[in-house]
Amino acid sequence: MTMALCLFCGELKFGALCQCEECGEGSTGEMEIDIAFSDHRMTKKSLIALGRIVKHINESEAKPQEVKFWVFLKYIAVTCPGLLVGDFDFPKEVESEYLRIIFPPIKIDYTKQVDVNDVIDYLTGIIARVIVSDASWQAFGYKQRPRRGAFFRKFTKRERLNQEDFIKNELLIVALVDVISAMEASIEYKEARLSDDYRTLVLFGILDRLFTSKALQYSDEMLQYIENAIQSYRYADSSKRMEVLVSRGKNHLGAKSLPQIAFGAAVITTYSMSAIDLVLDRSRLADWLKSAIPVGDVNATSNNYSRDHVIKLCCRVFGSKN
Ligand SMILES: [Zn+2]
């Protein structure tokens, strides 16, 4: 059962929208606010601590009740940024009352709401860093990251391009698998923050960004390639990932490229590439995902791909294990 704070009297009650047994008041009329002060969003300890703030404000001279309520929201806006979405425009009397009251120090442990697009951009940034970094390419014997526009691609040997594309795609997908695993880990905790639906949406958003930026070239074959690669890397623990890379290199590029791929894989395994973030810290990422609740819709930025196909892939990625 949901434990919630009654914003009228400061006692705990059962059910965020239910009537308080202590004072008889019910919902504030704003469901978002009611839910924010429940154990969906913070620990019971934090709810009790905030109850002390409500009582403290109630004991103040502020009148009427409505002003007291707004003073409490002002307190929340200052001490828990991100708990409530939206900008409040506080009346002057609320501002001055807020400044007048000396609040007891309390500790609040809460989860923030963040725009799902910010989550997606953040995770895509982490993934893209892997191929932008020269160090990743140096592991495979390149002086630096190959930068080729469409014009230069025309004059580069097919074999060489295939190898570069292979390394780039594989490194991206290995990093993507790290993010997928972190998203799975984050919902294994009891206080699940990232719902199944949002996991799928976040993955969709990441693929949207990668296709839009052309970090991955969209095609139906590419989509199949990505899905196969995710499955290959996903259930290999991180020490075995590079063995998977070598065997995939053998299949996709043939024997000639193999020494270079194997060398790169060995370098990455030896140094575990922590310095260049190639092997992502999954537990840290899962912690980060736990600390924020994504809200809102994904802004898909490109029309250059089949949205349906990509979403289906995302559903399969998270559906296959259950
Ligand atoms: Zn109450």
What is the separation, in whole angstroms, between the first and last Cα of the chain? 26
**Does the pLDDT of residue 276 top 50, yes or no?**
no
> How close is the Cα of 80 to the center of ligand 1, in Å?
22
> How close is the Cα of 5 to the center of ligand 1, in Å?
8
Q: Are residues 11 and 159 in the same domain?
A: no
- Rounded CA gap, 306 and 83, in Å? 35
Instruction: Give the max Cα distance, the chain.
Output: 82
Q: Are residues 171 and 236 in the same domain?
A: yes
Q: Which of 199-208, 294-303, 305-314 has the lowest mean pLDDT?
A: 294-303
Instruction: Mark which of 67, 89, 110 sits at the end of a domain.
Output: 110
Q: Are residues 215 and 92 in the same domain?
A: no
> How close is the Cα of 295 to the center of ligand 1, in Å?
28
When divided into structural domains, the chain yields a total of: 2
> How close is the Cα of 21 to the center of ligand 1, in Å?
7
> How close is the Cα of 51 to the center of ligand 1, in Å?
10
Q: What is the pLDDT of residues 108-136, one digit of tens each?
A: 988 877 888 988 998 898 888 888 888 88
Residue 175's domain comprises 113-319
Specify the pTM. Answer: 0.73
Cα 216 versus chain centre, distance: 20
Q: What is the pLDDT of residues 20-58, one digit of tens each?
A: 999 999 999 888 889 889 988 888 999 999 999 999 999
**Does the pLDDT of residue 192 top 70, yes or no?**
no
Q: What is the pLDDT of residues 160-182, one digit of tens each?
A: 889 999 999 998 998 899 888 88
> How close is the Cα of 11 to the center of ligand 1, in Å?
6
Residue 319: predicted pLDDT? 79
> How close is the Cα of 184 to the center of ligand 1, in Å?
38
Which residues have a beta carbon within 5 Å of ligand 1, which is an ion?
6, 8-9, 20, 22-23
- Which amino acid does the sequence have at 178? D
Q: Tokens for 205, please give them.
A: 């958003």
> How close is the Cα of 216 to the center of ligand 1, in Å?
54
Q: Are residues 134 and 201 in the same domain?
A: yes
Helix (H) or strand (E) holding 93: helix 92-100
Cis-peptide, bond into residue 294, ω within 30° of zero? no
Q: What is the pLDDT of residues 78-98, one digit of tens each?
A: 998 878 877 788 999 999 999
> How close is the Cα of 63 to the center of ligand 1, in Å?
18
Residue 177: which of 222, 233, 116, 254 has the closest Cα? 233
> How close is the Cα of 116 to the center of ligand 1, in Å?
33
